[in-house]
Amino acid sequence: MTEFSPGLEGVVAAETKVSEVDGANGRLIYRGGYLIEDLAPTANYEETAYLLWNGALPSRSQLDALRQEMVAARRLKDSARATLMAMDPDTDPMDTLRTVLSAQGATKTIAKPSVAEAVALTAVIPTIVAGAYRRRQKKDLIEPKDELSHAANLIWMMEGKVPATERVHWLDQYLVLLADHGLNASTFTARVIASTGSDLASCVVGAIGALKGPAHGGATFAARTMLDSIGSVENAEPWLIDAHARHARFPGFGHRVYRTYDPRAKILREMAKTADPKLHQVAAHTEELALKILHDAHPERPNATNVDFWASVVLTGAAIPKELFTCIFATSRVAGWTAHVLESEEDLRIIRPASVWLGPEPGKKPLPLDKR
């Protein structure tokens, strides 16, 4: 038995072809061997999801077929819709997503995870996220529009208007960039659930629960909240110095894996200039100061900007409300979760680690109730 490594840091828990986070060199590689900076300008979200599931980028006809499959799977089942409508409209949207997706995935018999099911779960998530948003706005749900792309359809179902091309582009790029990232906590959750022979919906529902945690998917929201609180270029310095003095963490900085600039953050930073020039200014100044403060405090640490920081600016530019940020992250990452589950099916072995016993010496005798 090995020694306890908190957080399983440095422990290899899977072999994968789906993606590779090369932290030392600041590279993110998607299935097929594509660097994220090469893939993002070439492929949209649907193509990226196809790549993660099937191992190759789709041809035109394969892409058309995938779009058709997604269109057919966008609608909620009656039971899932009834579940959505029964919930408090002010529910945390991640709780709504977790619950309604669980209802949508309820089946009569257990099925082995399949690409078709991965497509269906991926396709329906925007419907649930937009539905949660409409409920919060006390407005009626909007049916999906068949001819729209995955990203455009999400905004359509939120607003009831076909969005401008640039907004769709920013959201689509975000979805491509966040679609997979090695064995992060939610992906690992999905793989642990899959390892018992469970079904794909259970894996995705579990992963949503893990992504909900502020230490994982909640960081984009936290970064935006920080930027809101800073508010202006002039306020960045006093705000950060004060926060640092109070030992508060700067959301959007630091990552366990990258030792250099996160390649996704680099792409998003560039996009942020056009997506939201005003917030970009505040963010760029905040970044510069934050990195300096962190470096002065811990020169030995590679405190780089992480993807959440610049994602919060780009999503803001795409006019996504911040309470949906974590849900939009799930909308993207579901492609990776499902790809990992499908990959693990090839050689399934239950994930059952060991634990170290810190309790009392075994064998003490229980006292009967009346003698305690």
Report the site for another protein in 17-56 (rule: CB under 8 A): 17-20, 27, 29, 31-35, 38-39, 42-43, 47
The answer to whether 245 contacts another protein (rule: CB under 8 A) is no
Burial of 238 (0-12, 13-18, 19+ CB in 10 A): exposed
Residues in the chain: 372
CB of 186 to another protein, least distance (A): 7
353 binds another protein (CB under 8 A): yes
Q: Which of 169, 180, 308, 340 is catalytic?
A: 308
| CA distance readout (Å), 257 to 3, 176, 261, 305 | 21, 20, 11, 12
Binding of another protein at residue 263 (CB under 8 A)? no
Q: Which of 267, 242, 300 is nearest to 37 (CA)?
A: 267
Contact between 131 and another protein by CB under 8 A: the answer reads no
- Choice between 198 and 260, CB closer to another protein: 198
Angstrom CA distances, 120 to 73, 95, 113, stand at 5, 20, 11
Nearer to another protein, 252 or 317 (CB): 252
Tell me the closest approach of the beta carbon of residue 130 to another protein, in angstroms.
Answer: 18
340 is catalytic: no
Count of positions on this chain that bind another protein (CB under 8 A): 117
**DSSP line for 120-174:** HHHHHHHHHHHHHHHHHTT-------TTS-HHHHHHHHHHSSPPPHHHHHHHHHH
Given 255, 280, 285, 340, which residue is catalytic? 255
Cα angle for residues 79, 82, 83 (degrees, 5° grid):
85
Tokens 């530019």 locate to 317
Whether 308 is a known active-site residue: answer yes
Show the tokens assigned to 166: 């640039």
Can residue 351 be called a binding residue for another protein (CB under 8 A)? yes
The Cα–Cα gap between 112 and 190 comes to 14
CB of 35 to another protein, least distance (A): 5
Provide the minimum distance between the beta carbon of 37 and another protein in the complex, in angstroms, as a whole number.
10
Nearest distance in Å: CB 173, another protein: 15
316 contributes a contact to another protein by CB under 8 A: no
End-to-end CA distance of the chain: 37
Q: Which is nearer to another protein, 87 or 284 (CB)?
A: 87
State the Cα–Cα distance between residues 296 and 316, nearest whole angstrom. 30
Site residues for another protein, 51-110, by CB under 8 A, read 57-60, 63, 78-79, 82-83, 86-88, 90-92, 95-96, 98-99, 102-103, 105-110
For residue 322, state whether it binds another protein (rule: CB under 8 A): no
Nearest to 19 by CA among 32, 31, 37, 35: 31
Residues 215-244 that bind another protein (CB under 8 A): 215-218
Stretch (H or E) spanning 345:
none
Residue 16 is a binding residue for another protein (CB under 8 A): yes
Catalytic residues: 255, 308
